[in-house]
Every structure is written in structure tokens, then in C-alpha cells.
């Protein structure tokens, strides 16, 4: 069996551009919806609403945070009790629309602030964290207001589900500075990133972005074949597939 590919930051960006270009023809909103749904599904698979009903969804100001807002909405629909924490809310229109959708569902949002008291309070009454703060374009060091938030999240000892790459990790080098979060669960979108090769928790692939069609019973890989991603098949209608532990033997691209 050929191993799944792990992506560099440059290649991940290139694939995103193709997905939103003539090849994939996805809109950014579509990709965020699929990503957020996959993240919500992964969290629900590992942390049931009966035992872990209260989810703190931590959103950064970029597309990663948008994925988190979508996930918060779906988690609310799944029967969880999400609370949104945005140390620095996004300013783009699509981000604001996603936030309004959560507001319409009466999902509470902590007010943006450099103070940490409100974060401490909500952590004490949460069961699990969804980390959607930094994406694969993150470059250190961690700056305000995130530099005070990440330690509090780590020190809470709550289980963490990270989106794409744990916040504070370099997309290609991993947690080299030792300031990143250490999640129990990771949801890689499109394909895993090079920096998470050493991740040892439960690892899911999500999104189902990459075109893949069945023709005469055989799979036409199209964009997947072009980049040699070697993605596993998603089971049935699920938006996620768990990667085996031996995925660490994958190739670099």
C-alpha cells in the first residue's frame, strides 16, 4: 500500500488555489462548510455529547477560525453546548456571516479582550476544546493576544481537538519552539501537513475537497493523482476517515 503524502506549506497553498480555481471551482464558503462539518464530526466521534457536552471553540481571525465557526454551528445542531472564543475576531465579510449564523443559534461568544479571566472561567466549565486558532500559514513567534491564550488552553488539561495543525506549531517543522498545543485529536484537511509527522494521537483526514469520481467501478483521482496524494477512501457518506498509526511512514512532498 502506497503511503499518504504529507504536504509542505507551499504545496498546501497551491492545492487550495487549484480547489478554488478552474480545477475545483469551489468557493471559499464551500470549503469552509465542508471543513467545519468534518471537524465537528471528528470531535463527535471521539468525544460524545453525553460525556463531553460543553465545547470551547477557539477561533483565530483567518480561514482556520472560519472553519471553527462552522464547526461550532454544527456542534450546536448535533446537541452539544458550544461556546466561541475569539481572541481576535476576523474582519472579512465571510467570517462575519459565519459569526452571525452562530449568533442566530444563540451560541455564546466571549467578548474579545486581552484579559484572561473570562477564558479561565469558561475553561473551568468546559469539557473539550476545539482548536481552530492558527492555520497552516502560521509563522512564529506567537504574538498578542494569542501568547497569553495558548498557555491557558494547554494548562487546562482539557482534551483538545486541533484543526489542520495544532496552534503554535510550524506547518513544516512541528512544535519546534515548544509553545504549541498538544492535542489528543488532529483533523487534517485535504491532506496532512509535514509538521505533524510526529503526531501520536488520533488523526483524522477531513473535508473531502479533492475531486475523486468513480468511472466504471474504478476511481478517477484527477487532482489527487496530479499531486500523488494517495488519499484513503472515505467510508460511505462520512466526512472524515481515521488515518492508521503507520501513516507516519508517509513520503515527503
Contact 64, 134 (CB under 8 A): yes
List residues forming the annotated binding site for K(+).
64, 131, 167
CATH number for 175:
3.40.50.10260
Residue 178: inside a domain: yes
Give the chain's domain count. Answer: 1
List residues forming the annotated binding site.
63-67, 131, 135-141, 167
Residue 197 lies in domain: 28-209+232-252
At residue 247, the pLDDT reads 46
CA 22 to chain centre: 25
Global pTM value: 0.91
At residue 82, the pLDDT reads 98
Between 19 and 141, the higher pLDDT residue: 19
Q: By mean pLDDT, which of 8-22, 48-62, 215-229 is the weakest?
A: 215-229
Residue 21: inside a domain: no
**pLDDT tens digit string along 135-166?**
877 777 778 888 888 999 999 999 999 999 99
Whether 252 shows a pLDDT value over 70: the answer reads no
List residues forming the annotated binding site for (6S)-NADPHX.
63-67, 135-141
Give the count of alpha carbons within 13 A of 7, CB side only.
24
Backbone dihedral angles phi then psi of residue 88, each to the nearest 5 degrees: -145, 95
What share of the chain has pLDDT > 70, as a percent? 89
Mean pLDDT calculated for residue range 43-57: 98
Residue 77: inside a domain: yes
CB under 8 Å to 246, separation ≥6 — which residues? none
Whether 115 shows a pLDDT value over 70: the answer reads no
**pLDDT tens digit string along 190-246?**
999 999 998 999 999 998 888 765 444 444 557 888 888 999 989 999 999 999 864
Residue 225: inside a domain: no
DSSP state of 170: B
What share of the chain has pLDDT > 90, as a percent? 62
Residue 3: inside a domain: no
Whether 186 shows a pLDDT value over 60: the answer reads yes
Residue 123: inside a domain: yes
Q: Is 237 left (phi over 0), alpha (psi -120 to 50) or beta?
A: alpha
Whether 107 shows a pLDDT value over 80: the answer reads yes
Residue 4: inside a domain: no
Amino acid at each position: 500500500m502506497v503511503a499518504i503524502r504529507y504536504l509542505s506549506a507551499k504545496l498546501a497553498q497551491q492545492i487550495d488555489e487549484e480547489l478554488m480555481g478552474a480545477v475545483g471551482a469551489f468557493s471559499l464558503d464551500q470549503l469552509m462548510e465542508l471543513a467545519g462539518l468534518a471537524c465537528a464530526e471528528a470531535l463527535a466521534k471521539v468525544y460524545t455529547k453525553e460525556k463531553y457536552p460543553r465545547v470551547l471553540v477557539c477561533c483565530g481571525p483567518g480561514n482556520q477560525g472560519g472553519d471553527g465557526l462552522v464547526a461550532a454551528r454544527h456542534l450546536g445542531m448535533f446537541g452539544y453546548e458550544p461556546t466561541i472564543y475569539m481572541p481576535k475576531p476576523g474582519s472579512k465579510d465571510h467570517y462575519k456571516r459565519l459569526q452571525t449564523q452562530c449568533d442566530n443559534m444563540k451560541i455564546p461568544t466571549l467578548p474579545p479582550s486581552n484579559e484572561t479571566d473570562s477564558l479561565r472561567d469558561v475553561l473551568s466549565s468546559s469539557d473539550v476544546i476545539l482548536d481552530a486558532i492558527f492555520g497552516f500559514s502560521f509563522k512564529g513567534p506567537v504574538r498578542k493576544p494569542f501568547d497569553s491564550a495558548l498557555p491557558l488552553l494547554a494548562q487546562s488539561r482539557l482534551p483538545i481537538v486541533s484543526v489542520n495543525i495544532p496552534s503554535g506549531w510550524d506547518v513544516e517543522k512541528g512544535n519546534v519552539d515548544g509553545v504549541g498545543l498538544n492535542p489528543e485529536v488532529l483533523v487534517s484537511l485535504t491532506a496532512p501537513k509535514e509538521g505533524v509527522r510526529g503526531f501520536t494521537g488520533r488523526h483524522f483526514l477531513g473535508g473531502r475537497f479533492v475531486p475523486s469520481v468513480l468511472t466504471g467501478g474504478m476511481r478517477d483521482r484527477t487532482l489527487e493523482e496530479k499531486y500523488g496524494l494517495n488519499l484513503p477512501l472515505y467510508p460511505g457518506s462520512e466526512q472524515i476517515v481515521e488515518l492508521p498509526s503507520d501513516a507516519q511512514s508517509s513520503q515527503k512532498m
